[in-house]
Amino acid sequence: DSGVTQTPKHLITATGQRVTLRCSPRSGDLSVYWYQQSLDQGLQFLIQYYNGEERAKGNILERFSAQQFPDLHSELNLSSLELGDSALYFCASSVEGGVGDTQYFGPGTRLTVL
């Protein structure tokens, strides 16, 4: 158990809908990362937050957004969902998000768009 929690575990929805994925980092970690992993694809970095502020953006679509709250939990919002958005979404956390930092991953949320 990494100490990172994600809810829900599974989510099934329809095209065009909007969903919110939630992540609670390990105790003491200030940085949160979101990744997408599609079938047979590597982990694609989406976005990073550090202590409530956006720090880095990866291949995140404009339909997707995220935020980190004062209690350091983070939410990833996915809107106007398409079939191709079906994937595993992972959250990771680290102490600072800088050199020497190790990212610890949560169990993931499996999103199925029908």
Partner 1 sequence: EDQVTQSPEALRLQEGESSSLNCSYTVSGLRGLFWYRQDPGKGPEFLFTLYSAGEEKEKERLKATLTKKESFLHITAPKPEDSATYLCAVRDSGGYQKVTFGTGTKLQVIP
Q: What are phi and psi of 65, to 5 degrees?
A: -150, 160
| Residues paired with 67 in a beta bridge | 75
Among 36, 106, 111, 113, binds partner 1 (CB under 8 A): 106
Among positions 16, 58, 83, 84, the unique one binding partner 1 when judged by CB under 8 A: 58
Kindly identify the residues of this chain, within the stretch 18-57, that bind partner 1 according to CB under 8 A: 33, 35, 40-43, 45, 48, 55-56
Facing residues of 36 across strands?
44, 89
Query: In the complex, which residues of this chain contact partner 1 (CB under 8 A)?
Result: 2, 4, 33, 35, 40-43, 45, 48, 55-56, 58, 88, 90, 92, 97-100, 102-108, 110
